[in-house]
């Protein structure tokens, strides 16, 4: 049975890992360069990380808060990938294109709510109880 072309080079082993790492760095750099939302969330992640390094909370609470920020950035990167793909296909309005972009935006919104609730509960518990 022949394999369908995937557009991926056939690297294996450590070469595959190195290439995957390089592609990931390229993706992060492109996202930071071209997407305002990604830039904002990278800065939120950096500032949040600094805050979490200096606050006197249990390690598991700080990790939960940090993972929320990482999740938010991850979802934003995926949303940006969806938007770039849809725009690559065509810039004219299409109901399915709009739906894809709206669903990506909804995922970011849910990740923001999730992060906000976790941060709010843990900070309220830490400072007021």
Of 36, 76, 83, 95, catalytic: 76
Question: 31-45 pLDDT, tens per residue?
Answer: 999 999 999 999 999
User: Does the 36-128 domain belong in CATH 1.10.287.3610?
Assistant: yes
**Structure confidence at residue 70 (pLDDT):** 98
Low-confidence winner among 4-18, 28-42, 46-60, 98-112 (lowest mean pLDDT): 4-18
> Is residue 3 flagged as an active site residue?
no
Q: Output the 3-class SS for the chain.
A: CCCCCCCCCCCCHHHHHHHHHHHHHHHHHHHHHHCHHHHHHHHHHHHHHHHHHHCCCCHHHHHHHHHHHHHHHHHHHHHHHHHHHHHHHCCCCCHHHHHHHHHHHHHHHHHHHHHHHHHHHHHHHHHHC
């Amino acid at each position: 049975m022949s394999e369908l072309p995937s557009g991926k080079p056939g690297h294996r082993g450590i070469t595959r890992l190195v290439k995957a790492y390089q592609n990931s760095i390229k993706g992060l750099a492109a996202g930071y360069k071209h997407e305002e939302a990604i830039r904002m969330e990278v800065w939120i992640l950096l500032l949040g990380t600094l805050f979490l390094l200096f606050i006197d909370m249990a390690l598991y609470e700080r990790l939960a808060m940090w993972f929320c920020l990482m999740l938010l950035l991850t979802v934003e990167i995926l949303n940006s990938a969806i938007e770039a793909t849809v725009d690559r296909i065509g810039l004219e309005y299409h109901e399915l294109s709009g739906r894809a972009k709206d669903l990506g935006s909804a995922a970011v919104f849910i990740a923001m709510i999730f992060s906000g609730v976790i941060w709010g509960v843990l900070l309220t518990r830490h400072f007021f109880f």
